């Protein structure tokens, strides 16, 4: 789907819906009691008592039986975010956390510097619809980026939609938008307080006024306009029950058509499957307007079905083109009945195929661009008969152009090690735009001539951060099983490798999501603090195709944690840092990563920052879209998968008498993707057993969600708190102001 998404956490619909030992006994039911697996040992016991007055968290006697194994869940009550007891606990935890953070003298200085570095003009990649150009821009510290329209590329733009006017605190965000083919109407989705739920509306581009149209209860869907611009296709769920919007499971998505001027009750149901509660539908109208391509997904695994509908046919008939969820297929474009797809069919790193609807049998499918040594990360059909193919070469971008006959035209020259995004447009376009960024370079927008291959700078931001004193190196290290894993390490030039450098190791490792170089004001300030920033490209991600992804899923999930642990050990062995100066961090699936690593190797790290993490691996599938993550994790409903899950589930592997690293857990009250109960329960469990003087704190953001659309002010506050926490617990001396 070509919907333009605002500040998305994830690059694809499958990732967007995340986010990816043996117990037994013969004579009696085995019991996993009070979240404490083995007894304390001398290696894990610390003599000192905790110094922090953690809020009381009563332990219940809840025990679940999984395939003959009883597992205690003493903090089950914290799953109910609306309960008075939970609210009181959250309030007390926030008072403790913010009281601690408030004692850190460097906190305000760090926040002020973050605001300075964040305060620069940020442009999105422009695109043309009809005769108009559309792009997003943030002046610097605006809570939300503003959508602009211009009658020509060099004409003065005007504001088309400013989300900052929709709330006083910036918590209403533009979740996505799509412009009609004629450029006259804007369909746009709004998200409130970070929720995944969106309401879509329609605005006249010429006047900037909204029509009466409103469609609600939309999740994991964009909009795709018909060629005549009379309406758009979208997918939605049934309205949740009263009070259940943030926790109820999401099943039975349906595909609709909305005609401008109609009420949502009048919308036409295009497709549903009452027999398949997990199926979801993405819709894309072909550029010629003839067909509706329906991508059918059933979880986060990048394997899907493809159906289509002839929009000129009088009957509402949907034809199944590719069935079975055996491989992934991404629609690229079409020439009449010939459809082009990126697929991993017999090509785990991706290739491009052509399928003729008139001859749909697999024996007639034709390979256009074969699999390469690098992984295909995206494909666009542009400029007549050109395919722009974005590859990942060791987790950094390489772009090549092919004809529709598969012949190589040229490579796109890029400025260095980094990430290129964009390359959108239509088959009639003679030019396109792309952004290029790196760890120390904010995104520069380029205008690219498809005929000549010339790229010229269209927008180049100016920041107060000086990148000249820093460098990024890519290293490779061996994981526990010998697998070669890449890692980007960014630091000051001439860094002395004496083990004294505060280091922040970041990872994700799941859901086929690659981590590629990109600029962040937060990272820039960390570098200015004298920190080293390391990003490990773990198995489970999408850096090397589907085989790399599958090597970090289901029963092989431990590979991801082994990769991350090996990255930490490599940084220490090579003199970048030592345990007292090493912090690890990650969000969502990366929060699981951090939680698993500190429960498996608590002695290896000085600090840990798990954000909005999936931390109870036995119950994650019981809330909102959690069931979709079974593709990556497996399910406790399966006996073999249960044994793998309980072996690494962070919540269930907290051990008595252990000295855990200083930990700042972060979550949000409106996170309806990874519900906050995960973080609540993990925090309570850690606090109950922590020995020594290292703090275990939880920071609960209000009117916020999983991360997408988070206001700039909240982002700065959150990062300031994290960096301040690390300054305190890692003993970082701030540089003297110049």
Residues 396 and 507 in one domain: no
Residues 575 and 589 in one domain: yes
> Does the residue 256 lie in any domain?
no
End-to-end CA distance of the chain: 49
- Is 198:219 a contact under the CB 8 Å cutoff? yes
Please tell me whether residue 664 adopts helix, strand or coil conformation.
Answer: strand
Number of domains in the chain: 2
Residue 98: per-residue pLDDT: 97
Listed residues 462, 485, 520: the one ending a domain = 462
Residues 508 and 603 in one domain: yes
Please tell me whether residue 219 adopts helix, strand or coil conformation.
Answer: coil
Residues 429 and 574 in one domain: no
- The DSSP letter of residue 252 is -
Residue 39: per-residue pLDDT: 30
Distance from the Cα of residue 523 to its chain's centroid = 17
- Averaged pLDDT in 10-residue chunks for the chain of 738 residues: 33 41 30 33 36 93 98 97 94 97 97 98 96 97 97 96 95 96 97 92 98 97 97 97 88 98 98 97 97 96 96 92 97 97 98 98 98 98 93 97 97 95 94 97 97 96 96 98 98 97 98 97 98 98 98 98 98 98 98 98 98 97 94 98 98 97 93 92 98 95 81 96 98 80
Q: How many CA atoms lie within 13 A of 422 on its CB side?
A: 24
> Does the residue 723 lie in any domain?
yes
> Does the residue 518 lie in any domain?
yes
Residue 13: per-residue pLDDT: 44
pTM: 0.92
Q: What contacts 521, CB < 8 A, 6 or more positions away?
A: 114, 117, 118, 463, 465, 719
> Tens digit of pLDDT for each residue in 61-116?
999 999 999 999 999 999 999 899 999 999 999 999 999 999 999 999 999 999 99
Kindly give the residue spans of alpha helices, DSSP state H, lying in 391-441.
none
Residues 440 and 498 in one domain: no
Residue 245: per-residue pLDDT: 85
Counts of helices then strands in the chain (DSSP H, E): 11, 40
Q: How far apart are CA 61 and CA 75, in angstroms?
A: 9
* Residue ranges making up the domain that contains 396: 372-462
Residue 193: per-residue pLDDT: 87
Residues 707 and 580 in one domain: yes
Q: How would you class 407 by CB atoms within 10 Å of its CB: exposed for 0-12, middle for 13-18, buried for 19 or more?
A: exposed
Q: How far apart are CA 61 and CA 409, in angstroms?
A: 67
CATH number of the domain encompassing residue 60: 3.40.50.1820
Q: How far apart are CA 280 and CA 2, in angstroms?
A: 17
Residues 438 and 476 in one domain: no
> Tens digit of pLDDT for each residue in 528-556?
999 999 999 999 999 999 999 999 999 99
Residues 457 and 393 in one domain: yes
- Is 470:498 a contact under the CB 8 Å cutoff? no
Residues 405 and 545 in one domain: no
Listed residues 414, 432, 462: the one ending a domain = 462
> Tens digit of pLDDT for each residue in 332-349?
999 999 999 999 999 999
> Does the residue 3 lie in any domain?
no
> Tens digit of pLDDT for each residue in 623-659?
999 999 999 999 999 999 999 999 999 999 999 999 9
Residue 239: per-residue pLDDT: 94
> Tens digit of pLDDT for each residue in 570-608?
999 999 999 999 999 999 999 999 999 999 999 999 999
Buried b / exposed e across 700-720, counting CB within 10 Å, b at 16+? bbebbbbbbbbbbbbbbebbb
> Does the residue 481 lie in any domain?
yes
> Does the residue 341 lie in any domain?
no
Q: How far apart are CA 541 and CA 513, in angstroms?
A: 5
Residue 738: per-residue pLDDT: 58
Residue 321: per-residue pLDDT: 98
Residues 581 and 720 in one domain: yes
- Is 137:121 a contact under the CB 8 Å cutoff? yes
Q: What DSSP letter does each residue of 28-54 carry, written as one string?
A: S--EE-TT--SPP-TTT--SSPP-S-P
Residue 223: per-residue pLDDT: 97
Residues 430 and 562 in one domain: no
Give the catalytic positions in this structure: 588, 706
Pairing of strands 607-611, 662-668: parallel
Residue with token string 């220490």: 572
Q: What contacts 632, CB < 8 A, 6 or more positions away?
A: 18, 20, 300, 301, 510, 511, 540, 553, 554, 557, 589
> Does the residue 244 lie in any domain?
no
> Does the residue 187 lie in any domain?
no
Residue 737: per-residue pLDDT: 65
Please tell me whether residue 504 adopts helix, strand or coil conformation.
Answer: strand
Residues 442 and 562 in one domain: no
Listed residues 396, 428, 462: the one ending a domain = 462
Q: How far apart are CA 69 and CA 25, in angstroms?
A: 9
């Amino acid at each position: 789907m070509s919907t333009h998404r605002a500040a998305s956490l994830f690059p694809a619909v499958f990732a967007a819906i995340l986010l990816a030992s043996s117990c037994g006994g013969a004579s009696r039911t085995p019991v996993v009691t009070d979240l404490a697996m083995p007894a304390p040992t001398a290696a894990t016991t610390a003599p000192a008592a905790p110094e922090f007055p953690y809020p009381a968290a009563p332990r219940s006697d809840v025990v679940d039986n999984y395939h003959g194994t009883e597992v205690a869940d003493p903090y089950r009550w914290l799953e109910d975010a609306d309960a008075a007891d939970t609210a009181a606990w959250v309030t007390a935890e926030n008072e403790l956390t913010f009281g601690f953070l408030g004692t850190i003298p460097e906190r305000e200085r760090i926040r002020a510097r973050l605001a300075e570095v964040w305060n620069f003009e940020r442009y999105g990649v422009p695109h043309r619809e009809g005769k108009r150009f559309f792009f997003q821009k943030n002046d610097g510290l605006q809570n939300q980026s503003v959508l602009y329209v211009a009658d020509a590329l060099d004409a003065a733009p005007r504001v088309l939609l400013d989300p900052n006017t929709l709330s006083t605190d910036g918590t209403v965000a533009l979740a996505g938008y799509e412009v009609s083919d004629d450029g006259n109407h804007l369909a746009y989705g709004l998200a409130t307080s970070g929720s995944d739920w969106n309401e879509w509306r329609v605005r006249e581009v010429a006047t900037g006024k909204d029509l009466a149209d409103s469609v609600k209860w939309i999740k994991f869907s964009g909009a795709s306009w018909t060629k005549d611009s009379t309406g758009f296709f979208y997918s939605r769920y049934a309205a949740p029950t009263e009070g259940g919007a943030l926790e109820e499971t999401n099943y039975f998505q349906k595909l609709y058509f909305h005609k401008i001027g109609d009420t949502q009750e009048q919308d036409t149901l295009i497709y549903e499957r009452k027999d398949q509660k997990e199926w979801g539908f993405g819709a894309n109208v072909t550029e010629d307007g003839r067909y509706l391509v329906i991508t059918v997904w059933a979880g986060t695994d990048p394997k899907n079905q493809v159906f289509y509908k002839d929009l000129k046919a009088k009957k509402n008939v949907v034809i199944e083109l590719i069935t079975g969820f055996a491989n992934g297929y991404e629609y690229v474009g079409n020439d009449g009945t010939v459809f082009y797809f990126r697929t991993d069919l017999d090509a785990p790193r991706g290739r491009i195929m052509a399928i003729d609807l008139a001859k749909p049998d697999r024996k007639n499918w034709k390979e256009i661009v074969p699999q390469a040594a690098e992984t295909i990360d995206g494909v666009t059909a542009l400029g007549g008969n050109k395919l722009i193919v974005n590859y990942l070469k060791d987790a950094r971008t390489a772009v090549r152009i092919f004809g529709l006959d598969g012949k190589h035209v040229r490579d796109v020259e890029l400025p260095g090690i980094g990430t290129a995004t964009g390359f959108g447009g239509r088959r009639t376009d003679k030019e396109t735009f792309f952004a290029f960024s790196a760890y120390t370079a904010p995104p520069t927008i380029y205008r690219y001539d498809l005929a000549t291959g010339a790229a010229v700078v269209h927008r180049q931001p100016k920041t107060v951060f000086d990148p000249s004193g820093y460098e990024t190196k890519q290293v490779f290290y061996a994981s526990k099983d010998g697998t070669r894993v890449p890692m980007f390490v960014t630091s000051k030039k001439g860094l002395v490798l004496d083990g004294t450098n505060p280091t922040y190791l970041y990872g994700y490792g799941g859901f086929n999501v690659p981590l590629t170089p990109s600029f962040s004001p937060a990272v820039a300030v960390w570098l200015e603090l004298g920190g080293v920033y390391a990003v490990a490209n773990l198995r489970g991600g999408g850096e090397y195709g589907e085989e790399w992804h599958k090597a970090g899923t289901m029963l092989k999930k431990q590979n991801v944690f082994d990769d991350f642990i090996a990255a930490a050990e490599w940084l220490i062995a090579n003199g970048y840092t030592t345990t007292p100066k090493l912090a690890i961090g990650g969000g969502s699936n990366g929060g699981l990563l951090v939680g698993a690593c500190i429960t498996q190797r608590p002695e290896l790290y000085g600090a840990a920052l798990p954000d909005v993490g999936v931390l109870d691996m036995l119950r994650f599938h019981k809330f909102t879209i959690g069931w979709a993550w079974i593709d990556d994790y497996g399910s406790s409903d399966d006996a073999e998968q249960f044994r793998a899950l309980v072996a690494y589930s962070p919540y269930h592997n907290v051990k008595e008498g252990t000295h855990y690293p200083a930990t700042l857990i972060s979550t949000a009250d409106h996170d309806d993707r990874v519900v906050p109960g995960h973080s609540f329960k993990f925090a309570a469990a850690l606090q109950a057993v922590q020995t020594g003087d290292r703090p275990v704190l939880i920071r609960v953001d209000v009117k916020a969600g999983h991360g997408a659309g988070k206001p700039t002010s909240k982002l700065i506050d959150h990062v300031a708190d994290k960096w301040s926490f690390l300054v305190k617990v890692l003993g970082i001396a701030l540089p003297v102001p110049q």
